Amino acid sequence: MTPPALTVTESAAEQLKAIMDTQDLKDVGVRVFVRHQCGCGSMQYGMGFDDAVSEGDAVIDHSGLKFYVSEGDAAGLEGATIDFVETDVSRGFAIINPNGGGCGCGGH
């Protein structure tokens, strides 16, 4: 399987590495997945640490980290960027995909 074009910003990579160091996570990757796809084409994404590569996974080496994407989620993550965003009231990871479509259903 050809891995999806996935970009990771420097701030996201730094935050992921800091979490892995703090939690003493070794030999793990970051699984990125499509959590939900609405009928309108809009997608919600998720990610978490995973210590095993599943059959059919694409493994993407980026910024010294390994990202795992299942074959079923690869198309939905094509062109996505993982970022770490900080505002005055919140901070956290964001998965932004310009190819993900916009919500026309008003459901989210």
Give the amino acid at 18.
A
Is the confidence at residue 36, as pLDDT, over 60? yes
Integer CA distances (angstroms), 45 to 24, 29, 38, 42, 74, in order = 25, 16, 12, 10, 12
Percent of the chain with pLDDT over 90: 67
State the pLDDT confidence band at 101, using cuts at 50, 70 and 90.
Answer: low
Instruction: Tell me what the mean pLDDT of segment 91-107 comes to.
Output: 72
Report percent pLDDT > 70 for the chain.
81
* Residue-level pLDDT at 35: 82
104 pLDDT higher than 80: no
pLDDT band at 106 (very low <50, low <70, confident <90, very high): very low
108 has a pLDDT exceeding 50: no
- Go through the domains of the chain in sequence order and give each one's CATH number: 7-20+28-96 (2.60.300.12)
Q: What is the pTM of this model?
A: 0.83
Note whether 65 and 72 are within 8 A (CB): no
